[in-house]
Amino acid sequence: MNRPVTVATFTSNFDMKYLLFKEMLDEAGIQYMLVNEITSTVDGIYKGSPSNIGIELRVLEENVNEALEILNSIKE
């Protein structure tokens, strides 16, 4: 079964590594899905919103190794 797997978690959608990783995945033709992207941007606006929500970037199992290679190629 080819299910989505979380390969990275980011704390902000303004994180340069996050933006670069998404762009590099697009260029490699790797489809991804984002979980909590909207929730993380409204953090603090809604009372009781957890402050530790991270943006999860998921790819299909078949693309995990390639996505991790791309992620590891990005210097912090």
Query: Could you tell me the CA-to-CA distances from 43 to 11, 24, 38, 49, 53 in Å, in that order?
Result: 11, 27, 9, 6, 8
By the 10 Å C-beta count (0-12 exposed, 13-18 middle, 19+ buried), 36 is classed as middle
Give yes or no for residue 26 having a pLDDT over 60: yes
43 pLDDT exceeds 90? Answer: no
Contact 14, 72 (CB under 8 A): no
Average pLDDT over residues 38-66: 74
Confidence of residue 13 (pLDDT cuts 50, 70, 90): confident
Domain boundaries, the chain: 4-51+61-73
The rounded distance, in Å, linking the Cα atoms of 74 and 60 is: 20
Whole-number pLDDT of residue 36: 87
The confidence score (pLDDT) of residue 54 equals 84
